[in-house]
Chains A and B, each alone.
Chain A
Amino acid sequence: MGGATETFYGVIRRQGITRRSFHKFCSLTATSLGLGPLAASQIANALETKPRVPVIWMHGLECTCCSESFIRSAHPLVKDVVLSMISLDYDAPIMAAAGHQAEAILEETRAKYKGQYVLAVEGNPPLNEGGMFCIDGGKPFVEKLRAMAEDSMAIIAWGTCASWGCVQAAKPNPTQATPIDKVITNKPIIKVPGCPPIAEVMTALVTFITTFGKLPELDRQGRPKMFYSQRIHDKCYRRPHFDAGQFVEEWDDESARQGYCLYKMGCKGPTTYNACSAVRWNDGVSFPIQSGHGCFGCSEDGFWDKGSFYDRLTTIKQFGIEANADQIGMAAAGAVGLAVAAHAAITAAKRLTGKPGSVAQEK
């Protein structure tokens, strides 16, 4: 694919897409990014004049669900993004080249577009045993990642693996799988967590980065504010049931049939930052809560290590115990309560057996 000097507009015109459709796409993208009406012409201008941004898409320890999600994007159509908007120069699962040919592209991009290409990373590198748990092209993946990150413009950490570590980093994390921002510390990194992230979120971010040549505004955790500044809970269509105090208590009870709030079934919506309840999935068809199941919190740090998906309270595993805050608290308060009762009993007994009115004279 070497045509990185072409513009997006040039490519789609050649594919027979009309100028009218092109502007429709720009307006739609501007809206989905929350940028306002003027941004549409800015996007159009950028896509008409700027050379396409080369993108290297690497895969570490992962399950490829991010890629699976990405190719199901409805707006903008992934065909347009992959083939036209960006110059996807390297992506092992979907590229035609293989073996030495494929590896040659990495070196070529690194040399030719030094400091200009975007490095998209799906999955993360395991660091244990010198990175031997993930070998890619005969070398530990972590070495390849470090090399390609060196000359990149910015890094996109796709999915919860790259952002937080995900299942391979769950305790006890035998391979020492490590999120990207703990390995690469000298490049701007945008985290797009989710297992997988929402397709429209992924394509919109690629659009933003290629259009404006910079990362969007990030929050404290390094996530794009436009998609991760609110919780599932904040825009959940079942929120009125939460405020009313109408909860599903068991699967398949009357409340479940009524579509009440899944809070007591362990829904993690109140602690999960993602756009599912606003953007939804599969072209806006549904999202977990809409299909009757609580949110897992898949876009949150360490979501595998917080106990059952069906409990509100986190399992705490310190000091060799496995209990939640209520169990620990009640045990502590109970023990202190018993101690207090015993102490009171001894005090009373001493007063009764001793001379009246003085414990002191006991001795």
Chain B
Amino acid sequence: MTLAPETSDLISVEIDGVEMNVPKGTLIIRAAELIGTEVPRFCDHPLLSPVAACRMCLVEIEGNPKPQPACAIELTPGMKVRTQRSSEVAEKAQQGVMEFLLANHPLDCPVCDKGGECPLQNQAMSAGRAESRFDIPKRTFDKPVPINSEILLDRERCVSCARCTRFADQIAGDPKLELLERGAKQQVGVANDEPFDSYFSGNTIQICPVGALTSSSYRFRSRPFDLVSTPTTCEHCASGCSLRTDARRGEVTRRLAWHDSDVNEDWNCDKGRFAFTYLSQDRITSPMIRENGELRVASWPEALDVAARGLRSAQGSTAVLTGGRITMEDAYAYAKFARVVLGTDDIDFRARRSSSEEAAFLRSSIAGDCGPTYADLDKAPVVLLVAFEPEDESPIVLLRLRAASLRRGLRVVALSPIASRGLEKIRGEWAAIAPGADANALHALAQGGGDVPNGASIAQALRQPGAVILVGERIADVSGGPSAVAALAAATGARIGWVPRRAGERGALEAGALSGLLPGGRPLDDANARAQVAQVWGVDVADLPISAGREAAAVVSSAAAGGLGALVVGGLEPRDAAQPAAMRRALDNAGFVVSLETRRTEVTDHADVVLPVAVVTEKSGTFIDWEGRRRPFARVFGDALMMSDGRVLAMLAEAMDSSIGRGDVKSLRTELDSFGPWTGARSAVPSDSAAVVQTGGPHLVTWRLLLDEAAMQEGEPNLAGTRRRTVAVVSAATAASLGVAAGQQVTVTGPAGSVSVPVDIGSIVDNAVWLPSNAADCAIASLGVAPGQPVRVSGGAA
């Protein structure tokens, strides 16, 4: 299905008189592209299996009495093909098909969203007749009909190319959008009362070659030729999707997946496509300072002066918390600001559930290393998923695993208390473990399998060259987990891919926005590393912190206890924190809080100085995806006045009579690049012992669904309409012991609170309950219990 199949056998063929050598198995339509000939097509898509349904790409093949579909015929040695460029037969055949396609097509291009970027419209110009001969009544359907809250279907425009239905079935693994009825009545549709439930549904809008599938949010909002397009990178998760952001009059109107064969191929998820409304909501555009308990607008000089004085007076008792959303360049600015301007190593990008063991793992095993890539997943003999649910936590990873699984039977094993829908899609194998028992299981695998289901075979597979362990950030919740992952990798030779949820985490790690870690994976406690950094930063090595500072948890508890002089906060949400209440107390009780923010949040509500910063569309920058691959992006709004975090920090540094350089994206990136790779020893791999799994129960299993109550999904009700239903999942045995049946309400209670949701029976180990972490009416943080810990579950509502 790729351009050229994986083969080195070249065959000699001729297209339109041009002799060429192509790999055996190449489709005519792909080979024609190589010589710059675009055979018109609708149903063809390079990533979907050919159907040859639209018949638009008919070409003449020497010796064949009938014109043949170029999209479905593989070239054979000596084959002579003539396209519309040199064959009247092909040209006439294509014109005939075009006439049929247009026969029943409505003449509504002027009001169609696709107008101006429509393959049908474009090809009608080249292969169509000026006047229609069709003068019987056109086929009509009710229109538009929603297939989910994001997508509207106009069946009159549909050409039955089946791109959308093949995408749903083959790529997304959500065969819930289908061709219904037969013949002239054939139409795309969903089952009664069952919308097209897929995290990837928006791709169907993009690959629709006509205006049959349109976006509810974008409908009637713009014409393609009025849009300014910018290549961007998705800021939501660590998958690293290339996007195209289309804007008009200072507003983003839509985002599309942009082709990148190394990363997201042609796809993205609905969050990346639709969740951008937040960019323009509740924006802060002026600096603010707190006066008599109230924030008031201030000038930049005044605000910077107040911030500088506040920070200076707390010198020696300051910390920086950044959150996982910032760009690599901005993270680098924070990392440098903390060490050079504040003189502290108390910095952490992990404004989420985290652990010291995790930090040690990241410093020792992830930072500064190019981990496995998407291409490595394509080739891996086995992929082990640890504390990671790919569909919710990195959807493009799911698509890659699924593609490799379908194409060549890639073995994917999930070490998890629950078998997810995503695992089903990748036809993965479920190695069931008790909640919190990850570390023990990993150690068992390192030692040959132990009592892990199918353990011996998994352990053996992991020893094959190319094996990959994908570990999610949730491993931080398992004591001994990160250590056990490192140990398993060491024992088997498998490579580790760490897949955090947020787009900025890996970049922050590489930039050194973590205590004990300097840019480029340099250990802070290594004298050589410190010397290299001091040289680049132009400071005296003696002025750099010499011992590792405090991590997020310690910073928060210190601040909450009133022990912190000042806190610089950039882009984090207290509700994402391990303990939201503690984070709120920390913001309350810290001596002085400087917030660099794009919009009003709980943090700005607590801040003494608020400095407005640019959102992703207002600046350029780089995210680093889970592979460690840099994903630079351009500024969408060139005339935006908002400054990046880096620029603001540079100004703040100057106000404090210090410097981190100019702080603009380019100079930060250039400076970061000047470090080069770290060739010295890495910091020590953690070797925490595995936690003892707590008795009692049921134990809580949880992760964040892709679509939930997150701040960056605000303002997009159509996207919210495709969220999954909130349910608690228990096993049949657990349900029986609790005396509840599927669909009934249960209440899950922790020390701090409870949630009431309907229950579902699923593939989950006994004595466990799964809940979404941040769904509507189901904020797990409010329970006051960590994942893996016991909770109380009772039938009925609270």
Are A and B bound to each other? no
Residues of A within 8 A of B (CB): none
